[in-house]
Amino acid sequence: MDFRFTPEEIAFRQEVRDFINRELPPATREHMLRGKSPTKEMVVEWQRKLNARGWATPEWPVEYGGPGWTPAQKYIFREELQMAPAPQPLAFNVNMCGPVIIAFGTEEQKKRFLPRMANLDDWWCQGFSEPGAGSDLASLKTRAVREGDYYIVNGQKTWTTLAHWADWMFMLVRTDPNAKKQEGISFLLVDMKSPGITVRPIITIEGGHEVNEVFFDNVKVPVENLVGEENKGWDCAKYLLGNERFGQARVGASRERIRRLKALAAETLDGGRPLIEDPDFRRRITEIEVELKALEMSVMRVIARETKRRDTKPDPTTSVLKIKGTEIQQAVSELLMKAAGPYAWVDGDPDAEGSNEWDVAPDWAFGLAGIYFNWRKQSIYGGSNEIQRNIMAKAFLGL
């Protein structure tokens, strides 16, 4: 038992940190330090720099351009990006669709899509959820009917993150309506410029546009865009969801936000004294820090196990990481808003530029309430925290 990073891993961390310090555009860092999501241009620019360095696809095997990192290195890399803060390589491309194509796709598909995914020449979005298929994903209804060399797709996807920026969508469709729920589903790759696709924005409670509804009206998808076998798409979906082992913990991101929170609370007065000196407030921060330390060690345990595992079965303890990771992020976002006090009142999309033009609040306070509102999504998406508890009860406790 040795719970510390090796000297090689510590050297690797420094290498990553040096690269970020040298290459990350200061405007991107400034933008993200304020808690805003990076713009499309920022993400694309950064991912291309990572790709040039061979670091855009940490999860991919070396033969497909992955860097050949150990789980610990992958974790360190992610954590350094979160702490910088810098954009992550686009998850839809490199953590979700890419690995599915590598595992189930044809040589044709690999050649055609993977290099463009890595370089973010194509922006991908995920077409899974539907109005009637949220937690119960397998009840999805969007239909694909084969006609000659095409599938004709009809139906609706929802909560599609950044579909309005996307060039392609990977989606689950029902190809056999008579089979048992999970057995009639296929995994398709769809060009977002195809006729018959309509993307309609969903504005979330904080005022931001991140998610969309996507409608499919007789959309023609060439059969060569089917990944894996017809009606075996659920295997791809399970594989994709099971790949997410420690990504949702986001320990580095929470640590960066706590650092920010402490700095802001030191500048803000409460009762004539810095807010950080208020014992109750400080205690609330400390409670979160303790949970975060435990979570960090939980992530290490999953990584250590990961290093030795051979199979790709999902690990039920990753549910712990999802639940705790999102609870912590939500709690930090709430304290950040609280730190701003009444200055959190100013309405507006937190990601928009120049929204504090009348100088009614300190610059740093703008958008903190919006982020708090927006981050309530975290315990809902990626398998809601209640679904995670179901998984734990069934897969782990045998209840």
Partner 1 sequence: MDFDLTEEQSLLVDSLRRLLTDRYSFEQRKAYMKSERGWSEEMWQAYAEMGLLGLPFAEEEGGFGAGLTEVCLVAEQMGRHLTLEPWFPTMVLGAGFLRHAAPPELRRELVPQIASGALKLAFAQTERQARYDLHDVATSAKRHGEEWVINGRKGMVLHGDSADRIVVSARTAGARRDRAGIGLFLVDARHPGMTIRGFRTVDGGRAAEIEFDNVPGIPLGDPEGGLPIIEHVVAEAIAALAFEAVGCMDVAHHMTVEYMKTREQFGRPIGSFQALQHRAADMLIALEQARSMSYYAVQAALEEDPEERRRGAAAVKVQIGRSARFVGQQSIQLHGGIAMTMEYACGHYFKRLTMNDSIFGDADHHLRALAEEGGLVRAA
Residues that bind partner 1 (CB under 8 A): 1-6, 9, 72, 255-256, 258-260, 262-263, 266, 276, 279, 282-283, 285-287, 289-298, 300-301, 303-305, 308, 317, 319-320, 323-324, 386, 388-390, 392-393, 396-399
At its nearest, how many Å lie between partner 1 and the CB of residue 81? 16
23 is catalytic: no
Question: How far apart are alpha carbons 325 and 379 in whole angstroms?
Answer: 9
At its nearest, how many Å lie between partner 1 and the CB of residue 290? 5
Question: How far apart are alpha carbons 144 and 158 in whole angstroms?
Answer: 17
Whether the upstream peptide bond of residue 85 has omega within 30° of 0, thus cis, is: yes
Using the minimum distance from each CB to partner 1, give the nearer residue, 352 or 391: 391
Catalytic residue among 15, 183, 244, 306: 244
Tokens of 49: 């720099």
Using the minimum distance from each CB to partner 1, give the nearer residue, 145 or 391: 391
Using the minimum distance from each CB to partner 1, give the nearer residue, 63 or 399: 399
Question: How far apart are alpha carbons 73 and 113 in whole angstroms?
Answer: 26
At its nearest, how many Å lie between partner 1 and the CB of residue 350? 19
Using the minimum distance from each CB to partner 1, give the nearer residue, 53 or 394: 394
Using the minimum distance from each CB to partner 1, give the nearer residue, 244 or 278: 278
Q: Which of 399, 258, 245 is nearest to 319 (CA)?
A: 245
* 61 backbone dihedrals φ, ψ, rounded to 5°: -60, 155
Using the minimum distance from each CB to partner 1, give the nearer residue, 205 or 294: 294
Question: How far apart are alpha carbons 40 and 54 in whole angstroms?
Answer: 21
Three-state DSSP class for residue 159: coil
Using the minimum distance from each CB to partner 1, give the nearer residue, 223 or 392: 392
The long-range contacts involving 312-318, CB below 8 angstroms and separated by at least 24 positions, are 312/239, 312/242, 312/243, 313/242, 314/238, 314/241, 314/242, 314/245, 314/395, 315/245, 316/391, 316/392, 316/395, 316/396, 317/396, 318/244, 318/245, 318/246, 318/248
At its nearest, how many Å lie between partner 1 and the CB of residue 285? 6
Query: Rg (Cα) of the chain, in Å, rounded?
Result: 22
At its nearest, how many Å lie between partner 1 and the CB of residue 356? 20
| Cβ contact 288:258 at 8 Å | yes
At its nearest, how many Å lie between partner 1 and the CB of residue 307? 8
Question: How far apart are alpha carbons 186 and 167 in whole angstroms?
Answer: 20
Q: Which of 80, 26, 39 is nearest to 253 (CA)?
A: 80
Torsion, Cα 285 291 293 299, to 10 degrees, reads -140
At its nearest, how many Å lie between partner 1 and the CB of residue 308? 8
Buried b (16+ CB within 10 A) or exposed e, 134-144: beebeebebbb
Q: Distances in Å between the alpha carbon of 170 and those of 60, 233, 300?
A: 18, 11, 31
Give catalytic residues, as residue numbers: 244
